[in-house]
Chain A
Amino acid sequence: MTQETLLLLSAVNLLLPLLGFVAIIFNQKRLGRNAGYFGTSLLGVNLITSIIVAATKLTQFDQAGMLQMKFDWFSLGNHSVTIGLGLDNLAAVMLIVVNLISFLVHLFSLEYMRDDKRFPRFYAYLGIFTFSMIGIVIANNFLNMYIFWELVGLSSYLLIGFWYEKDSAANAGKKAFITNRIGDFGFFAGIMILFYTYGSFMFDDIFALIGDGHLPFDNGTMLTVAGILLFMGAIGKSAQFPLHVWLPDAMEGPTPVSALIHAATMVAAGVYLTARIFPMLTADALLFVAYIGAITAFIAATIAITQNDFKKVLAYSTVSQLGYMIMAIGVGSFTYGFFHLVAHAWFKACLFLGSGSVIHAMHHSMDKAHNHSMDPQDIRNMGGLRKRMPWTYYTFLFSTIAISGVPFTSGFLSKDGILAGTLAFGSLTGHWFITFAGYSAAAMTAFYMFRLLISAFHGRPKTEIAANTHENNKFITIPLVVLSVITFFGFYSLNPFDGGTGWFYNKLKAPATVVPAQYQWSFLVPYEKLNADLHSDNCMNCSPAEAKENPHSAGMENPHSEGMGEVHAEGMENPHAEGMGEVHAEGMENPHADIHAAEANHAHGVHAGSHHAMHRFEEATHEAHVPAMIISLIIAASGIFVAFTFYQFKVFNPDTIVGIIKPFYLLSYNKWYFDEIYDASIIWFTLAFSKLLAWFDLKIVDGTVNLVGWVVNGIGHIVGIFDNVVVDGLVNLSASTIGFFGIVLRKFQTGRVQAYLVMTIIGLMLLIYFVV
């Protein structure tokens, strides 16, 4: 298969869901329930083509970098705006994720949405969502990405508010849309900085120019700013702190939508974007990304512990896991971050569809019992569903095990990689908070997921309704089974304890950074470039002698260099880390070194294709792998153990614990009061500001207008008076003067001939007197 065919197939992949949308939205009445079958079969075709595309890309063209197609869209002056399609290994994997989950959700909804009066419209919206999501995935430039970015925002809005008769759903839609707008504003500003500087939207053009040393405004800080602004898009879309508040509310949408959009694909778009711009993120930008991710992972995990709504727990879990991925990319663990995206997409979609299955069953049971007052999503009303719904239970169990990071699952591989990355990052930079947040979130994840599982499925039914639930039909169970099967480790790596040896890791190596060495963590700069920089004059502030003493001195200009210096000194005690520059040069002292050297050579050999090159961080991650794995195993096990002691065996009563740590419990239960804080700060401020503006408008602006009106009116009056008195006066004066003369003169007009004669004679006599 040639590259052109491959790109053509991915274009077909993009357009088929759009076709589905157009076909369904205009024929809703005519299609009826067939809309569902039509949409599902289109997605089935799409899934098959995407698997073909991805398999071809990952086998035949795996070293080819990004296959691209570019078209000129329009010209503005000298700039022509180019758009296009691009397919690299990242996009190929993402294509399967989007299509498979979308297909399974289509299938699931055939049953779940069966009784909905807007059934065809639901499928139309799913179609336009899939279209826009694939558009993001196969964009090779920021412009395309931004367009589709907004389109997924639109479809998310439409689907959250799908049951718009409910006020809460309509409000949640608005909240999601507006919150996303804040992030998208930053994303757009970042794109504009790049377009202004480089005159292009293309990823490859921009990265190549940054690699050549062109920086926005000739300033490394501006590159950081551009990176952070672009990342703001991800903060909004991936529900990162401080814009995470919309995602839990978005659970007002139908549950399949929560699984598709708000757990597996759309919210992962932010992570995908961060992965796309990874090569251009500077050290400061990466640190920002890592901290945002770590804070999000930690906060969301603490909130998830105390929630009672089935979907809210999963929602906060999603936020927490997204924070994990973002954090992974921020610390430089690019591959594991993306791996976690994929793994998380499977098990979180499975968990959400499982919750959908439970809610659906609860609804049916409630309908039978003619009970409409109970909350079918509250886990306090469930319990004992294990016996009633075995398929749902076992798939849910597998996914819970995976998300908790138990070995032999994909979740273990990816989470372990991320934790190793944070451990390495902590030791290299001294930012231990990120490591701490990673591990504590992992412990909490294991705890709250098992709390959810035990409360909903184990023990005795807490209500009559739960006791009378029934397993759902095949439309619902098949997607669950498929999704839980692919959480098995063997799909990604044959070694269940090390994701680094699998195909996934090797096909999706982190792209080399293009940021100039003085703005990047020295441990992320490839050795070849680092060495080249040391021998050239790029290292401006250090003499060559110093540079030889300390191979990491290129990082000395970095604001974080102080911490790094110390850590480096610590690192020297570590037998693996000893003098990496020397080891690399000599290549013999360290058992790992020859492997790395070989890999580095290999990477160098295919450099043109994969853009991957060895750097210090990768080795540090390798070194941190075993301790990270041991700690994460202990932490996951203790989380699960605590959950069982609390909720299964009831050794302790959770309520007494709650009594002891009341303030923390309330903080978590009320979601850290984020909504309240935003209500009291930003929203209050916005409202106050708009009131102020309204007042300003009413008093000052209207006042000014009225004043002007009043003044003009006054002037009008004066002019009127002038007109009446002076102008009219003059006119009247002349008229009355003439009238007066008329009155006087008419006295002479007696009509008597004799009088005339007298006057003639008098006149004559006067003439004679004066003239003669």
Chain B
Amino acid sequence: MAIGLTHYLVVSAILFSLGVFAIVTRKNAILVLMGLELILNSANLNFIAFAKFGGLNIEGHIAVMFIIVLAAAEVAVALAIVLNIYQNYHHIDVDEINSLKE
């Protein structure tokens, strides 16, 4: 059985779901960030799949490049935030961090 677009999209959907699951359920901020990376990568996979089978061609590749760069930058910023949170709260449990409410 040849591997087609559907397989890619299913893998990508699984990845996305895992990412969302990680973000929603994990209490550790680092793990949440990792879930985020999973979602971004599921998106990358979609772009690549559409570049190969869907006629998105080179634009798909370029978008992936951008997303990778963006993700790197995002992780850098997010880790900085997590470090700051840790300095203030002495933990990185996102359930306990609800000062947005105030």
Seen from chain A, the residues whose Cβ lies within 8 Å of a Cβ on chain B are 749-754, 757-758, 761
- Partner of A758 from the list B24, B95, B100, B102 (CB cut-off 8 Å) is B24
Which of chain A's residues has its CB closest to B99's CB? Answer: A751
Given A757-B23, A757-B24, A758-B24: A751 touches B101 (CB 8 Å cut-off): yes
Inter-chain contacts of A758 with B (CB < 8 A):
24
Q: Are A751 and B100 in contact (CB under 8 A)?
A: yes
A753 to B102, CA, bound (A): 13
Q: Are A749 and B101 in contact (CB under 8 A)?
A: yes
Inter-chain contacts of B13 with A (CB < 8 A):
none
Which of chain A's residues has its CB closest to B27's CB? Answer: A754
A590 → B minimal CB distance (Å):
139
A119 → B minimal CB distance (Å):
101
Which of chain A's residues has its CB closest to B23's CB? Answer: A757
B94 → A minimal CB distance (Å):
6
A752 to B99, CA, bound (A): 8
Interface size on B, residues (CB 8 A): 13
A750 to B96, CA, bound (A): 11
Which of chain B's residues has its CB closest to A752's CB? Answer: B98
Q: Does B15 contact A (CB under 8 A)?
A: no
A754 → B minimal CB distance (Å):
5
B79 → A minimal CB distance (Å):
16
- Partner of B32 from the list A751, A754, A761 (CB cut-off 8 Å) is A754
Seen from chain B, the residues whose Cβ lies within 8 Å of a Cβ on chain A are 20, 23-25, 32, 94-95, 97-102
Inter-chain contacts of B102 with A (CB < 8 A):
751
Inter-chain contacts of B23 with A (CB < 8 A):
754, 757
Inter-chain contacts of B32 with A (CB < 8 A):
753-754
A753 to B99, CA, bound (A): 10
Task: Supply 9 A–B pairs (Cβ within 8 Å), ascending by A.
Answer: A750-B98, A751-B101, A752-B98, A753-B32, A754-B24, A754-B95, A757-B23, A757-B24, A761-B20
Inter-chain contacts of A749 with B (CB < 8 A):
101
Inter-chain contacts of A753 with B (CB < 8 A):
32, 94, 97, 100
A754 to B24, CA, bound (A): 5
Inter-chain contacts of B98 with A (CB < 8 A):
750-752
- Partner of B101 from the list A750, A754, A757, A761 (CB cut-off 8 Å) is A750
A448 → B minimal CB distance (Å):
119
Which of chain A's residues has its CB closest to B20's CB? Answer: A761
Q: Are A754 and B94 in contact (CB under 8 A)?
A: yes
Inter-chain contacts of A751 with B (CB < 8 A):
98-102
Inter-chain contacts of A750 with B (CB < 8 A):
98, 101
A722 to B60, CA, bound (A): 69
A757 to B23, CA, bound (A): 8
B18 → A minimal CB distance (Å):
14
B30 → A minimal CB distance (Å):
14
A746 → B minimal CB distance (Å):
9
A756 → B minimal CB distance (Å):
8
A761 to B32, CA, bound (A): 15
B78 → A minimal CB distance (Å):
12
Inter-chain contacts of B25 with A (CB < 8 A):
754
A761 → B minimal CB distance (Å):
6
A749 to B20, CA, bound (A): 20
| Given A752-B94, A752-B100, 19 other A-B residues pairs in contact with their CB atoms under 8 A | A750-B98, A751-B98, A751-B99, A751-B100, A751-B101, A751-B102, A752-B95, A752-B97, A752-B98, A753-B32, A753-B94, A754-B23, A754-B24, A754-B32, A754-B94, A754-B95, A757-B20, A758-B24, A761-B20
A747 → B minimal CB distance (Å):
11
B53 → A minimal CB distance (Å):
21
A706 to B99, CA, bound (A): 65
B21 → A minimal CB distance (Å):
11
Inter-chain contacts of A757 with B (CB < 8 A):
20, 23-24
A752 to B101, CA, bound (A): 8
Which of chain B's residues has its CB closest to A749's CB? Answer: B101
A752 to B95, CA, bound (A): 6
A754 to B100, CA, bound (A): 12
A750 to B95, CA, bound (A): 10
A772 → B minimal CB distance (Å):
16
Inter-chain contacts of B24 with A (CB < 8 A):
754, 757-758
A292 to B79, CA, bound (A): 130
Inter-chain contacts of B20 with A (CB < 8 A):
757, 761
A750 to B99, CA, bound (A): 9
Inter-chain contacts of A754 with B (CB < 8 A):
23-25, 32, 94-95
A301 to B101, CA, bound (A): 117
A33 to B95, CA, bound (A): 118
Which of chain A's residues has its CB closest to B96's CB? Answer: A752
Inter-chain contacts of B101 with A (CB < 8 A):
749-751
B14 → A minimal CB distance (Å):
16
Which of chain B's residues has its CB closest to A756's CB? Answer: B100
**A-B pairs, 9 with minimum CB distance:** A751-B101, A751-B98, A751-B100, A754-B24, A752-B98, A758-B24, A749-B101, A757-B23, A753-B94
A753 to B95, CA, bound (A): 8
B38 → A minimal CB distance (Å):
14
A20 to B100, CA, bound (A): 105
A749, A750, A753: residue with the most chain B Cβ atoms closer than 10 Å: A753
A609 to B22, CA, bound (A): 141
Which of chain B's residues has its CB closest to A758's CB? Answer: B24
A757 → B minimal CB distance (Å):
6
A733 to B23, CA, bound (A): 41
Which of chain A's residues has its CB closest to B102's CB? Answer: A751
A752 to B32, CA, bound (A): 13
A26 to B20, CA, bound (A): 115
A707 to B72, CA, bound (A): 87
Which of chain A's residues has its CB closest to B98's CB? Answer: A751
B82 → A minimal CB distance (Å):
12
A193 to B98, CA, bound (A): 102
Which of chain B's residues has its CB closest to A753's CB? Answer: B94
A53 to B45, CA, bound (A): 144
A750 to B32, CA, bound (A): 18
Which of chain B's residues has its CB closest to A761's CB? Answer: B20
A758 to B32, CA, bound (A): 13
B98 → A minimal CB distance (Å):
3
Inter-chain contacts of A761 with B (CB < 8 A):
20
B25, B97, B98: residue with the most chain A Cβ atoms closer than 10 Å: B98
B77 → A minimal CB distance (Å):
15
A757 to B100, CA, bound (A): 14
A133 to B17, CA, bound (A): 127
A750 to B25, CA, bound (A): 16
Inter-chain contacts of A752 with B (CB < 8 A):
94-95, 97-98, 100
Inter-chain contacts of B94 with A (CB < 8 A):
752-754
A106 → B minimal CB distance (Å):
108
B37 → A minimal CB distance (Å):
15
B88 → A minimal CB distance (Å):
15
